[in-house]
């Protein structure tokens, strides 16, 4: 290769990295986390990922940094929405799940079998009577909710909905919500 020229790009590099960690998709690479973000009771937050047809998703994982777990949680779900923002998979309501530090993996109540390749959203929603958890999260930027469109699709990269006590179906993204997308991995 001549000096100053770059090697050809490999389309499979990201896939190899994910597969090596047992991950199908994630809202963003964990090394790019912006740090912990305090979650807001009743606010759904999520990020866009792509799933190929034939993919089966059985679990979702978030990360609770040390000493930043929640207490007194009343509800907690991890869920998947499709590009039309309809609920397609969820975990059981697990209020104690994010009350300890570390990776928290919950099984979906029914595995998601993807029939057509497309855009999906990995999401988190919790409510509490005491303290909400912090989750490892990406950029905190209200503009990402409405303006972070996935290239070519017109779909937002990050979604948020406020004022919730239960899972919405469909999600109705809130404009201007300060949003910090949690790191969520599908496996």
63 closest CA partner among 179, 184, 187, 181: 184
Does 137 reside within a domain? yes
Does 16 reside within a domain? no
State the pTM of this model.
0.85
Total count of domains within the chain:
1
Q: CA-CA distance, 122 to 83, in Å (whole number)?
A: 11
Does 44 reside within a domain? yes
Q: pLDDT by residue for the chain (187 residues), tens digit each?
A: 344 444 443 344 444 567 777 899 998 877 666 677 889 899 999 999 999 999 999 999 999 988 789 999 899 999 999 999 999 999 999 999 999 899 999 999 999 999 999 999 999 999 987 899 988 887 655 444 444 455 566 777 888 899 999 999 999 988 766 567 899 999 9
Task: Report CA-CA distances (Å) from 8 to 5, 11, 12, 19, 126.
Answer: 9, 10, 12, 22, 44
**Segments of the chain assigned E as strands:** 25-26, 35-38, 44-51, 56-64, 71-82, 87-90, 102-113, 118-131, 134-140, 158-161, 180-182, 184-186
Range of the domain at 143: 23-186
Does 65 reside within a domain? yes
CATH number, residue 121 = 2.60.120
Pair 46, 158: CB distance under 8 Å:
yes
Does 1 reside within a domain? no
Does 52 reside within a domain? yes
176 closest CA partner among 141, 125, 131: 141
First-last CA distance in the chain: 38
């Amino acid at each position: 290769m001549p000096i100053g020229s770059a090697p050809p790009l490999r389309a499979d590099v990201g896939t190899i990295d994910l597969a090596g960690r047992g991950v199908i998709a994630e809202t963003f690479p964990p090394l790019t986390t912006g740090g912990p973000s305090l979650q807001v009771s009743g606010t759904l937050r999520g990020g866009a990922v792509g799933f190929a047809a034939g993919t089966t998703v059985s679990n979702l994982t978030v990360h609770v940094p040390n000493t930043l777990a929640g207490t007194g949680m009343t509800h907690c779900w991890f869920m998947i929405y499709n590009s039309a923002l309809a609920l397609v998979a969820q975990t059981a309501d697990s209020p104690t799940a994010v009350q300890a530090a570390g990776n928290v993996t919950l099984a979906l109540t029914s595995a998601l079998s993807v029939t057509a390749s497309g855009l999906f959203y990995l999401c988190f929603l919790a409510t509490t009577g005491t303290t909400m958890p912090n989750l490892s999260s990406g950029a905190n930027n209200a503009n990402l909710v409405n303006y972070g469109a996935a290239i070519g699709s017109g779909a937002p990269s990050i979604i948020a909905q406020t004022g919730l006590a239960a899972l919405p179906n469909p999600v109705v993204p809130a404009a201007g919500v300060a949003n910090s997308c949690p790191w969520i991995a599908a496996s």
